[in-house]
Amino acid sequence: MNNIIKKTNNAKKCPIYDTDQYFLSDVLLNLIIAIRDDMSDATEKNPSPAPSLQKQKKKPWMIIGIVVVVIVALIAVVVLGGFLNPTETDVLKKVQNRGQLIVGTQVPYAPFEYQNATTSKFEGIDMEIAQKVADALHVTLVIKSMDFDPLFGAVQTGQIDMAISSITITPAREQTVNFTIPYYTANQAVLEKSTSNYTNSSSLSGTKVVTQLGTTGSDWVNTNLVTPGIITAANHVDLTDVSAAATGVQDGIYNAFVVDTPVAYGYAADATTGLSVGFVIPTNEHYGICIQQNQQNFRTAVDNVIQGMIDDGSMHALLLKYHAIGV
Amino acid sequence: MIYLDLSVITKYFWFLIGDLWPPTGLIATVILAISCISLGFVGGILIGLARISRNRLVYALSTVYVEGFRGTPLLVQIFLIYFGIASFGIFLDPFIAGIAALSLNTAAYQAEIFRGGVQSIPKGQMEAARSMGLSYNQAMFQVIIPQALRNSLPAYTNEFITMIKDTSLVFSIGVVELVLRARQVTAITFQSFVVLAFIAWLFFLLTFSTSRIMRFVERKYAIPGMMGSE
């Protein structure tokens, strides 16, 4: 092998060790030359050593054969797998075949979705609505908790069948996902320490405002506080974690947390938090369940469940039970 | 079928790169990486020296530090230094808190890399230096450490690359660096694959340049014929 390598001109020599520095192109070239020599049985060019020391002649056909078989096997697995489990695109049929409804949500966001401190089960208004939808479709409910802003991507790609997480219906979101009929109307509220007293937007001048990343509260702060210059862009902090934001206001890191009214009132109602609602921002937003686009069957099924709950009064009773209305 | 809109990269390119002051986006990531790696390098040498000291108190303290910062998750350390300290009334700027947490963490790992390099130098070097009349400090800094650092350059490269990627964790305390910027763009445009693939590419450029620079440094300080060269 060494005499072949010396023929190529690229080899550099180290002054002390007389070794050669190999480049990838040289290695490949030498490999091809070696295979060619083996295939043409070049034993007369390079006198072979004693029979006991002679290495096994390389069998390039065996290597090529194995590679071909592996590739054919992989293709077969993919193709047959495709025929045996055709990818179902209709979400309603997928859910019924699977026997499970996979729902995405972001916790904690009391009273709509939160985890019970002792049992770790998911509870809240949104969770009970999800259970009703699963019951209507005669499947079991599986809840996946994730951050808020990836929920839309997860619905879009079909990772989850639907997302229910106090999601506001906005025209921007409707371009990539669809929503059911609304089931709740909310506003934004400014959550502050009980010792502060913010009464309107201009009173927030120069303060640090925190919001949750990807929510309508964050959009409101960008449009109504940052753009007119009431607060600087650096003083508007976007966190992915709602409880970290509320604790931050408690500890004094941030001055205000702009979040949906039921959540703000939920924190304010608990006297141990030391938080209160400064003022309410009337945005009149409607919550809807988020569903993949072009899924008319699934959307109709979920719409029917929500409409049924509104018609027979159970939606109103549910909202009253969690104090989401009557505040 | 998912609609991949590549124009969001051109539309939000400068938004993702970020401003110089206050630093946001890719510029914030680069500043975070450079600061915490340099602070960690200095701290790592000091703590590494403490780890091989014969003074029992110094050895014990440095062991507690290294085991503590290597044994807890970086995300927990970042939360503790920002939210945890704030609950005692000390408010840090999130950027500073991020640099502090990252530097303390990387100093612990670099201390062990340094200690490994120093302990791989044959004892004969220290004996020869001491018998020539050099003090312990002189022997360390003039004889042992130059050789030790050259030997541990590949391990340092590993740690630097890991740190560049770990700076992305500070998005959780609200530092506006590349990952948070990407999530903000995704929240507006809903093109998560395009945006995230683009910032993965930017991170790859950063780490690949670092590894190439370190390889150049290795070659420059290599002594032909000695171990740890070429």
Beta-carbon pairs below 8 A across chains A and B = 63
pLDDT in tens, chain B (230 residues): 456 778 888 889 999 998 888 899 999 999 999 999 999 999 999 999 999 999 999 999 999 999 999 999 999 999 999 998 988 888 889 999 999 999 999 999 999 999 999 999 999 999 999 999 999 999 999 999 999 999 899 999 999 999 999 999 999 998 999 999 999 998 888 888 889 999 999 999 999 999 999 999 999 988 877 765 55
Interface of B with A (CB under 8 A): 2, 22, 79, 83, 86-87, 89, 91, 94, 171-174, 176, 180, 183-184, 186-188, 190, 192, 224-225, 230
> Considering the domain B24-220 in this protein, what is its CATH number?
1.10.3720.10
Provide the shortest C-alpha distance from residue B66 to chain A (in Å): 28
Show residues of chain A in contact with B230, CB under 8 Å. 14
Strand partners, A277: A191
Our CA-based measurement puts residue B187 at a distance from the nearest CA of chain A, in whole angstroms, of 5
Residue A50 is predicted with a pLDDT of: 55
Question: Distance (Å, rounded) from C-alpha A323 to C-alpha B19?
Answer: 44
Extents of the domains making up chain B: 24-220
pLDDT of residue A45: 57
The pLDDT assigned to B214 comes to: 94
| B183 with A17: Cβ contact below 8 A | no
- Spans of chain A below 70 pLDDT: 1-23, 41-58, 81-87, 326-327
- Strand order through the sheet with A256-260: A236-239, A209-212, A256-260, A184-193, A275-287
Beta bridge partners of A189: A259, A280
**Domain A185-286, CATH number (from 1.10.3720.10, 3.40.718.10, 3.40.190.10, 3.30.70.270):** 3.40.190.10
Sort out which chain A residues have CB atoms less than 8 A from B183's CB and list them: 149, 213-214, 240
Q: A16 and B224: CB-CB below 8 Å?
A: yes
Residues A115, A320: Cα–Cα separation, whole Å: 19
Contact assessment for residue A219 and residue A229, using Cβ atoms and an 8 Å cutoff: no
B187 contacts A213? CB cut-off 8 A: yes
pLDDT digit string, tens, across residues A283-292: 999 999 999 9
pLDDT of residue A21: 57
> What's at B95, amino acid-wise?
F
**Whether B97 contacts B48, CB under 8 Å:** no
Angle at A21 between CA A20 and CA A27, to 5 degrees: 100
**Minimum distance, in Å, between the CA of residue A90 and any CA atom of chain B:** 13
Burial code (b: 16+ CB inside 10 Å, e: under 16) for A25-49 equals: ebeebbeebeeebeeeeeeeeeeee
**Cβ contact A156–B190 (<8 Å):** yes
Instruction: Confirm or reject CATH 3.20.20.70 for domain A91-177+288-321, answering yes or no.
Output: no
Contact yes or no for B174 and A237 at CB 8 A: yes
Quote the pLDDT of residue B1: 46
Dihedral angle computed from the Cα positions of residues B99, A252, A112 and A165, in that order, rounded to the nearest 10 degrees? -30
User: Which residue of chain A has the CA closest to B88?
Assistant: A251
Contact A15 B89 (CB under 8 A): no
Option in A172, A238, A244 nearest B184 (CB): A238
Q: Which of A149, A177, A251 sits opposite B87 (nearest CB)?
A: A251
Q: Is the ipTM of this complex over 0.90?
A: no
Query: Looking at beta carbons, which residues of chain B come within 8 Å of A16?
Result: 224-225
Q: Cβ B174–A238 below 8 Å, yes or no?
A: yes
Residue A79's pLDDT is: 78
pTM: 0.77
pLDDT value of position A33: 81
The closest alpha carbon to A192, from A242, A252, A133, belongs to A252
Distance between A240 CA and the closest CA of chain B, angstroms: 7
How close, in Å, is residue B50 to chain A by CA atoms? 36
For residue B93, list chain A residues with Cβ-Cβ distance below 8 A.
Answer: none
